[in-house]
Each structure stands twice: as C-alpha cells, then as structure tokens.
Chains A and B, each alone.
Chain A
Amino acid sequence: MITISQLNVGDSLKEIQLKPVSRIDLIKYAGASGDFNPIHTIDDEAAKAGLPGIIAHGMWTMGNLAKLFTEFYQEGFLKDYSIRFKNMVFLNDVITLQAELKEKAEKQLRFSVLAVNQNGKEVIKGEAVYQLY
C-alpha cells in the first residue's frame, strides 16, 4: 500500500467513481445529517424551487470527496478542507472524486480536490491540507 507521505507533487490519489446517484442515497444523507431540505428528496418541492429534479446535498458530495483521504489515517489527518459548490448534482449522475498533490512541505501536503460528473463538469472543487504526524 502506498503511503500519503511518499507522494510527489503532481501525483494523484487513486480516484473513486461513485455509483449513479440514487434517491435513497439522498434520503440516507438527509437522515444522517439532519438536513431535510425537501429539494434533495421530494420531486414536487424541487420543481417548486424551479429545479429540473431533486439535487444532491452539496455536503453529500463534499463528504464523499473526503474519503479519498480516509485510508491514510495512521499518517495524519485532514487539517483544512475547503470547497466551492459549482454545479448541481442530479439523480443518476456519475460522480468521480479526484485529488492531486500540489505542494509538499515537511509536515503538510496541499492537494487540489475535485468532483466531476459524467460530462466532465466540475461539481465541487477546492483544496485539502493534510497534516502529517
């Protein structure tokens, strides 16, 4: 297994492609997070808000993206994680999660992080700083 501290600038973490977004995914996230805004789960409410369909919670996508780093928990932790929500995620979208190492200091690794949909459109984008012990 590769360790995170072995990465060089320009290297990427192993990307993850999620299963197509389903309604049950979003119902589960609503329950687990307590965010019951109905535009994420109920078609009529999404339509009333002027949306073509229900959309994923931005925080669902952000939560998913963080899992690129989970396996390295023995080496450090996510110190800073910032995201801009750029485009909506709809049902059946296929989201791919990516992280690339941009900068390496002695104890800190700065990554650019990104989630894109099946059309290559960026849905969330940001930065993660991994603090090594």
Chain B
Amino acid sequence: MFKDQIGKQSNKVKNTVERGAVKKFAEAIGDLHPIFVDEATGKNSRYQANIAPPTFPRVFEYGVIEGMNLPNKGLIHGEQTFHYVRPLLVGEDVYCFSKVKDYFEKKGNFGEMGFLVLENYGEDAQGNLIFSSTSTIVISEAVRKVLVR
C-alpha cells in the first residue's frame, strides 16, 4: 500500500541545534556530559563548540512527504540507524528532509506485516551531508486495514 510512495521526498526544513533542546535531550537519556552542555568544555574541545548526542536528530522536523498518511498509533519501531560524517554542533543550522526508501510486506506471527523504511537526512547550509538515519516502521495488518483508502 505504500509501494507507490517509494522514492518520494519531503521539502527541506531548516532546524537549529538549540542549546536548551540539547540539554533537555541529554538529560532525558541520562547523559548530561559536559561536552553536550558545558560551554567551556565545548570551547576547549577539538570542535570548539558543544556537540549533540548521536540520537538527537529525533528532535528535528523533516518536512512533509505529500500523500503519505501514517497513523500516529499502532506502528512499531523495528530498526533504527544513524550515520554521521561528523558530530552535530550546538548552535548550527541543519537542513533536514525525509525520503521513502522502501516498502515491502512479509508474513509474520501476527499476519501480513508491512515494513516501511524512511530515510532522514541532515545537511549544512552548503548542502553537505552531516548525518543520515533510517527508521524501519512495522505496520500490522490490523492497522493497514484501517488505512486502506
């Protein structure tokens, strides 16, 4: 049902790696390390800035993929990957977008399951990749029935 969406892409959205958001996020994962939150530690590091935890891109907005209607309930997060060219710096702007990478269906213990692979990207102002991430979302048969248009 999402097969026809493969290859579709969202518009780019400008995000900022906000100091307060990084601190809140670091606290929520129990990792209030000075490299994330202490300005002096950041300045004295090789980055000359604070950095964000590797899973921080969860916070960003990635724009809207037209025609993609995902329910906000009944989805299972199956797999997640992050790939970094370099760490994210606190204070920098990141241009983010999302792409439908793949969709396939497989018979499992709970009937026919759908697997949706979304790829997110974060670039600097010049269009250089900073990070990419993939999320594999598992959609159960029950949820897919509701979604059929």
Query: Please, how many angstroms separate the alpha-carbon atoms of A63 and B26 in the complex?
Result: 9
Query: Please, how many angstroms separate the alpha-carbon atoms of A62 and B87 in the complex?
Result: 17
Residues in chain B within 8 A of chain A (CB atoms): 21, 24-25, 27-31, 33, 35-36, 45-46, 51, 53-55, 58-59, 72-74, 76-84, 86-87
Is the Cβ of B73 less than 8 Å from the Cβ of A73?
A: no
Decide yes or no: A79 and B84 within 8 Å by CB, A33-B59, A58-B77 being known contacts.
yes
List the A side residues contacting B59 at CB < 8 Å.
Answer: 32-34
Count of chain A to chain B residue pairs whose CB atoms are closer than 8 Å in the complex: 103
Is the Cβ of A66 less than 8 Å from the Cβ of B55?
A: yes
CB under 8 Å from chain B, chain A span 67-81? 67, 69-71, 73-74, 77-81
Contact of B58 among A35, A74, A80 (CB under 8 A): A35
Is A121 on the interface with B (CB-CB < 8 A)?
A: no
Query: Please, how many angstroms separate the alpha-carbon atoms of A60 and B55 in the complex?
Result: 9
Is the Cβ of A74 less than 8 Å from the Cβ of B54?
A: no
Decide yes or no: A77 and B87 within 8 Å by CB, A62-B55, A67-B30, A133-B46 being known contacts.
yes
List the B side residues contacting A63 at CB < 8 Å.
Answer: 25, 28-29, 31, 53, 55, 58
Is the Cβ of B78 less than 8 Å from the Cβ of A84?
A: yes
CB B131 to nearest CB in A, in angstroms, measures 10
Of all chain A residues, the one with the shortest Cβ separation from B80 is A83
Query: Size class of A's contact patch?
Result: 35 or more
Is the Cβ of B53 less than 8 Å from the Cβ of A66?
A: yes
Is the Cβ of A77 less than 8 Å from the Cβ of B84?
A: yes
Query: Please, how many angstroms separate the alpha-carbon atoms of A81 and B73 in the complex?
Result: 26
CB A81 to nearest CB in B, in angstroms, measures 5
Query: Please, how many angstroms separate the alpha-carbon atoms of A60 and B58 in the complex?
Result: 10
CB B19 to nearest CB in A, in angstroms, measures 13
List the B side residues contacting A9 at CB < 8 Å.
Answer: none
Is the Cβ of B28 less than 8 Å from the Cβ of A18?
A: no
List the A side residues contacting B80 at CB < 8 Å.
Answer: 58-59, 62, 82-83, 85
CB B45 to nearest CB in A, in angstroms, measures 7
Is the Cβ of A80 less than 8 Å from the Cβ of B29?
A: no
Is the Cβ of B82 less than 8 Å from the Cβ of A78?
A: yes
CB A64 to nearest CB in B, in angstroms, measures 5
Is A49 on the interface with B (CB-CB < 8 A)?
A: yes
Contact of B35 among A28, A29, A70 (CB under 8 A): A70
Query: Please, how many angstroms separate the alpha-carbon atoms of A82 and B54 in the complex?
Result: 11
CB A76 to nearest CB in B, in angstroms, measures 10
